Amino acid sequence: MDPRAVGAVSERLTVPAFDLARAARRIEGPLADRWARLLERTAFVGGEEVQEFEEAFASFLEVRACVGVANGTDALVLALEALGVGPGDEVIVPSFTFIATAATVAWLGAVPVFADVDPATLNLDVTDAARRVTPKTVGVVGVHLYGCPFDVRASLELCAEHDLWLVEDSAQAHGARFESRRVGGFGRLATWSFYPSKNLGCFGDGGAVTTDDPELAARVRLLANHGATGRYRHERVGLNSRLDALQAAVLNCRLPLLDEDNATRRRIADRYRSALAGVGGIDALAEPVDVESVVHQFTVRSERRDALQASLAERGVGSAVHYPTPLHLQPAFAGRGEPPALPAAEAAAREVLCLPVFPELSDAEIDVVISALVHFAGTGE
């Protein structure tokens, strides 16, 4: 790449961290058709759109069942509740993730036990998790952070050894693969968010629970519909947490594009990675062998993260910090005794920065991001 050309481009272009309008334009036609059909049928809750999506997503993941729910947080609550999590239970979760992974455990009256993360991937450190198993531990929730699968094999071995279940929080990893198989079918249950910025996002809130166990799927579906087994007959106390038909229509338009979109994200990641190979002080996270990340985020680490973010912003490049505080240090989890020392999660919170990566990003925009990174590394500002 000729640096002068990049300089010329950067004067014209700013690069957003994310741009949903571009994704929306790509499905304008098919979405208008589906919405018109929905308006005609007035099937706004449940109905064919939701069923079509549940079947298509289960088949995409090669799992037996998918239950659409209202969002990824409810998906976790319902999955944990279906497994019987309640007061007195301990559930091991990584400390470096979105709060929903742990808050849902606490919401059900159980204790989230925070484990540290692997410094190379920022995913659950299974060796650290193993040290935190007690007689009260009932399960582990792993997170495929930034679209990169956690070590499912080691997690399953840990669970088998102590008779625990594994739940995959797959909110950031639609389509990712571990040992060639898509994530979402390894744990007893997997939970999904379709928040608009996700690789498979709708235009509001949406979520799902997937599993190979039809009985567990039926339990989730029951709990998500006020435990109703008939009209005004309620077998269990539950929630109203259903996937909206309008959102299912968006997902039905976007699911067929997902594999190609994920491949585009991987190509963008390759370009960033090659550019960073010759640059000191900014390191991309590792992608382990045997996994295929779907690059929900392209995350770098720098000891001068805040200066890097400011410098990128000055050159018109958006970026984001996911996450500035590890969960064991969040006020929401204070008052439960001295928080553990989790050095890898704490360092990650100080150093991570997520660069623009979405399928509609243009080559010229990628050039601008790369030139801004090179500029920062070269000038130290």
Which residues inside 271-330 make contact with ligand PLP, applying CB under 6 A?
none
225 touches ligand PLP by CB under 6 A: no
DSSP per residue, 204-238: S--EEEEES-HHHHHHHHHHTBTTEEETTEESS--
210 touches ligand PLP by CB under 6 A: no
CA pair distance 292, 53, nearest whole angstrom: 24
CA pair distance 188, 335, nearest whole angstrom: 31
41 SS3 class: helix
Question: Contact with ligand PLP (CB under 6 A): which of 95, 123, 155, 193?
Answer: 193
184 touches ligand PLP by CB under 6 A: no
In the bound state with ligand PLP, the residue whose beta carbon lies nearer, of 101 and 155, is: 101
In the bound state with ligand PLP, the residue whose beta carbon lies nearer, of 93 and 275, is: 93
CB of 191 to ligand PLP, least distance (A): 7
Which residues inside 80-139 make contact with ligand PLP, applying CB under 6 A?
97-98, 100-101
Question: Contact with ligand PLP (CB under 6 A): which of 171, 224, 294, 345?
Answer: 171
> What is the residue type of 218?
A
In the bound state with ligand PLP, the residue whose beta carbon lies nearer, of 100 and 370, is: 100
Q: Which residues have C-beta within 8 Å of that of residue 102, sequence separation ≥ 6? A: 93, 112, 114, 327, 333
In the bound state with ligand PLP, the residue whose beta carbon lies nearer, of 128 and 205, is: 205
Nearest residue to ligand PLP, scored by beta-carbon proximity: 72
- What is the distance between the terminal CA atoms of the chain, rounded to a whole angstrom? 22
In the bound state with ligand PLP, the residue whose beta carbon lies nearer, of 31 and 77, is: 77
In the bound state with ligand PLP, the residue whose beta carbon lies nearer, of 327 and 361, is: 327
Size, binding site for ligand PLP by CB under 6 A: 15
195 touches ligand PLP by CB under 6 A: yes
Which candidate, 362, 266, 372, places its Cα nearest to that of 319?
A: 372
313 SS3 class: helix
169 touches ligand PLP by CB under 6 A: yes
Cα 295 to the center of its chain, rounded Å: 10
Q: Which two tokens stand for residue 217?
A: 């799927």
Q: Which two tokens stand for residue 53?
A: 């999506």
CA pair distance 65, 189, nearest whole angstrom: 10
Interface with ligand PLP by CB under 6 A: which residues? 71-73, 97-98, 100-101, 143, 169, 171-172, 193, 195, 205, 207
